[in-house]
Structure 1
């Protein structure tokens, strides 16, 4: 069953930033009754993301996107992770003249960005994932908060898109999706695509503010929220792969990235750098 509720909270928690009084550790840990905080990344230490938790993707990776992923574009400053999209030329070390492979036929990348993930370092099954972030909505940007299952190749491992922002039919949308292996089609999607205008109509300053994306994940359902507005609800009784394996009944790891081009649209007339800023990532699970 899917629900689309017009419930949006413009609280200080959503609109504020890391200034003034800081939320106490006790308040963070006890935010959800009956749950406990099992892991959080507050990005308080300046420099690079903590290598104990975070890996980097490198080069061209997926979807024929324009950016070259590199470590240099992810940095922590003043309590925030900033993933920066840049217009800059980088040599493609995998270039092969005449290749038909999209990852190899370009001698140079014209854009760079970063993609980080917790694979093999922080993985979880069920609970509440909460991310507070600010996205740039300029044309060409494709920021995301998502997870992938730890076993089987994509899409049999399962994908959960807590947040995506990109162009659908040449109009910007916020998306909340899950994907798994289909029986008739290669990949099966349960997707909600909400026109970005829906959020602007409620709050014209939306792009200038931080927002909270949340996933509530149990063995029975996944619910995806933006600022307490339920965007999509997925019944996990319907998400089995053809072999009977349910990819949402296994641990997943977290990915944060800013893609450029492809579904994000043409960034050629967009002013760079672009910034995707993350305040925190928190994972809660039910108390045992």
Structure 2
């Protein structure tokens, strides 16, 4: 009887971290090649993750810093805070949005595997609970290792803002800093009552023929690789190269919306990130 209870307890623990799904993926021809279960306490594993710092992109309101990403009780928690602090890069006469702001009004974190781990093709999975209040912009995405954006290729496995769940794939065009987007938007209201209070599983399946993006096994977007060649003279396909993973929690900016009525701090909670390859 005692041995039976131990087995039941072990099964429960493993199931809570998605062990059944891990086994299923392996049996379907995929092998786990990299993962972070975030079971350590404190800072994320430095052999797996690096950080972005300061004001980075899209005229976003948050200042990215290490302190806002913490592993606790089996979760990576990226916390966005409303706090007014001096911008250390402030230049009064600057016309650059990153330096002409005297203060930062929000802080958050963005972590990535750039320079540490990258993969070409496979299955990438994240289980997470995302915040959906006004002005919030959490994401789980990849970028190619070669060429500047967007010619390096971008895959937004999960992106959320303005009451929409997005699944996007972008390649380059002949105009610098201008992407060709293949996007879908799923209204939050269509996902069911209390959807945002629960954890969900986002998945990308990427091979030599196509990229498919899912949430909870529901297909959101699928694009053939032949349609993702950069729209310039290079004939370079940014999805026939390794990509690295990013997890970030943005505020406001070009797409995020107005966060002024939202209560802070706000938490983007990630249970695990896993990468499988055949």
TM-score (norm 2): 0.91
1:178 and 2:200 aligned: no
**Alignment check: 8 A CA contact 1:30 1:36 kept:** no
Q: Give CA deviations for 1:214-259 in whole Å, capped at 9, x if unaligned.
A: 0000011000001110000011101111210100000000000000
Q: 1:190 aligns with which of 159, 164, 182?
A: 182
Q: Give, in whole Å, the separation in 2 of the partners of 1:29 and 1:195.
A: 29
Q: Give CA deviations for 1:174-204 in whole Å, capped at 9, x if unaligned.
A: 00001111247831000111111111xxx20
Q: Give CA deviations for 1:140-160 in whole Å, capped at 9, x if unaligned.
A: 100000000001000010000
Runs of 4+ in 1 over 6 A off after TM superposition: none
Residues 183/282 of structure 1: CA separation in 2 closer, same or farther (3 Å cut):
same
1:106-255 equivalent positions in 2, closer than 5 A: 106-167=101-162, 172-183=163-174, 186-199=178-191, 203-241=192-230, 242=232, 243-255=234-246
Shifted more, 231-240 versus 19-28: the winner is 19-28
Q: 1:283 aligns with which of 268, 275, 278?
A: 275
1:11 corresponding residue in structure 2:
none
Q: Give, in whole Å, the separation in 1 of the partners of 2:250 and 2:198.
A: 20
Aligned pairs, how many?
A: 261
1:54-69 equivalent positions in 2, closer than 5 A: 54-69=49-64
**Alignment check: 8 A CA contact 1:30 1:37 kept:** no
2:248 corresponding residue in structure 1:
257
1:72-91 equivalent positions in 2, closer than 5 A: 72-91=67-86
Structure 2 unmatched runs, 5+: 1-10
Structure 1 unmatched runs, 5+: 1-18
Q: Give CA deviations for 1:92-148 in whole Å, capped at 9, x if unaligned.
A: 111100211100110110100000000011110101001000011111100000000
Q: Which has the higher helix share?
A: 2
